[in-house]
Amino acid sequence: MPPLLLPPPSFLLISTLLLLSLQICKTLNLSEKETLFSIMESISSDKDWRSFSPEPCNPSSSWPGMECKPGSDNLLHVTKLVFGTPPNPTCMNSATFPSQIFNLPFLQSIHFVSCFKTKKTTLFFPNSPSSSLKQLSFRSNPALISLIPPQISSLKSLQVLTLSQNHLYGKIPDSISSLNSLIHLDLSYNKLTGRIPAEIWRLNNLVDLDLSYNSLTGPIPPSIGELVKLQNLDLSSNSLTETIPESVEKLKILTFLALSDNKLSGYDPNGVAKLQKLEYLIMEGNPMFIPLPPELGRLPRLQELRLGSSGYSGMIPKSFCWLKNLTSLSLENNNLSGEIPPEFNGLRKIYHLNLSRNLLSGVVPFSSEFFRRLGRNLDLSGNARLCVNEHEGLNENVGVGVCGSNGSSSVDSDEMRKPLESSEAASLALGIWSWRSGAGFMGFSAVYFCLWSS
């Protein structure tokens, strides 16, 4: 019988160390563990978290809404926490923002979604710089009633900041402009006041900026043109004044621009026409009172153009028929006159057209195929001198009468809604015709949430 061969001592030593290291890597740093227990007990009553899993990072019994990663010390560390909606831990009625969360030194991503609903709570940020945190998201927290603390500047590594649909008030702190690692900034649907910080140009890595649905005042700072990486800009539903700065033309890769429902009173059409990658231009509800600019027809990628309720006058430019990618055009409630360009029949991708409440006249030039394709998404009502040929048989859908023998509408003009008058500029500024897009900029936070969840 041959002698039994034993592995060399060095092999045994390495194997033992490997097993020990694997065991150690299942262990959460002790101080982090105690901090985590404290946070969970103050936020969620879903479970008795200490007894549910004494080792929260253990893959066989890890907590929902939490991620851990091994560090160079061969210990696991908490890197992500998500609260608010199942399957993540839900928040109890007494939950308030746990300031001790910043005691987790390896934490990279924090999410509170529909968490603080009952008991008033405020934001808190540490005075000392935090080098690990890259994403911070507070969404849909009605009891989060707070200023944005100037200490937010301590989060030097922050790339994604979402503070949307809360009750934040006061001014946007100037210190937010020092977060020059930011890629995504969303402060929409709050009660913020004051001006957009002039130093915003320092956020030179921004791709998405959403300050919509607040009460911001003053002009759009010209320095916004220095944000040359910007792709999505939404400043709609505020009280911004004066003209759109010419520096906007520097935003060469901008694809989404929403400035609706403000008090903006003009812009350089040639400058806007330089935004050759623009796909969405949403500027309705501003007191422009200028002729409709033909230069906007030079935006080849434009898919949606909304300029309603803004006092535009003159004829609809034929250049708008060059917008071959256009799917939606809204020019309602202006002072537009003349005939509808028959070239609109060539807009093969359009599915929504609103020309209602203007001063348009003549025979509607659309083909039967055009009428069928748009159906109820075509609105021509409120144009007393506009009519459709009887053979089309579609006048009930579009809101105009059948043409008479003199080419005029058979509908009583007194029944038509009047177009916008200049005296209505003040009403415009209040945003009566507000734009609420379910597939617009509000989706970006979710996109970044998914990216960080992967």
Nearest to 115 by CA among 83, 137, 88, 76: 83
Report the distance separating Cα 349 and Cα 304, nearest Å: 11
pLDDT mean over 2-31 = 53
* Pairing outcome for strands 328-330 and 280-282: unpaired
Give percent of the chain above pLDDT 70.
82
pLDDT mean over 425-433 = 37
pLDDT mean over 370-379 = 94
Tell me the two tokens of residue 38. 């404290």
User: Which pLDDT score, from 0 to 100, does residue 9 have?
Assistant: 52
- pLDDT of 116-134, one tens digit each? 999 999 999 988 877 799 9
Quickly tell me which residue has 């060469």 as its tokens.
Answer: 252
User: Which pLDDT score, from 0 to 100, does residue 26 have?
Assistant: 61
pLDDT over 70 at 19, yes or no:
no
User: Which pLDDT score, from 0 to 100, does residue 398 have?
Assistant: 80
pLDDT over 80 at 391, yes or no:
no
Tell me the two tokens of residue 439. 């597939």
- pLDDT of 344-373, one tens digit each? 999 999 999 999 999 999 999 999 999 999
User: Which pLDDT score, from 0 to 100, does residue 29 have?
Assistant: 82
pLDDT category of residue 139 using cuts at 50, 70 and 90: very high
Tell me the two tokens of residue 62. 């890890």
Calculate the dihedral angle through the C-alpha atoms of 420, 424, 429, 435, rounding to the nearest 10 degrees.
Answer: -30
Neighbours of 307 (CB within 10 A): 23
pLDDT over 80 at 409, yes or no:
no
290, 268 in Cβ contact below 8 A? no
Tell me the two tokens of residue 284. 């309705």
146, 168 in Cβ contact below 8 A? yes
User: Which pLDDT score, from 0 to 100, does residue 414 have?
Assistant: 43
Amino acid at 227: L
Report the distance separating Cα 411 and Cα 420, nearest Å: 20
pLDDT category of residue 49 using cuts at 50, 70 and 90: confident
353, 378 in Cβ contact below 8 A? yes
Report the distance separating Cα 151 and Cα 165, nearest Å: 21
User: Which pLDDT score, from 0 to 100, does residue 215 have?
Assistant: 98
User: Which pLDDT score, from 0 to 100, does residue 18 have?
Assistant: 37
pLDDT category of residue 416 using cuts at 50, 70 and 90: very low
User: Which pLDDT score, from 0 to 100, does residue 434 have?
Assistant: 36
Ranges 188-197, 215-224, 344-353, 436-445: which has the least confidence: 436-445
For the entire predicted model, the pTM comes to: 0.86
Q: What is the DSSP letter of 176?
A: G
- pLDDT of 60-75, one tens digit each? 777 889 999 998 888 8
What is the residue-averaged pLDDT of the chain? 86
Which is higher by pLDDT, 23 or 125? 125
Nearest to 130 by CA among 162, 103, 112: 103
pLDDT mean over 31-41 = 91
Please tell me whether residue 402 adopts helix, strand or coil conformation.
strand
User: Which pLDDT score, from 0 to 100, does residue 303 have?
Assistant: 98
User: Which pLDDT score, from 0 to 100, does residue 448 have?
Assistant: 43
* Pairing outcome for strands 184-186 and 232-234: unpaired
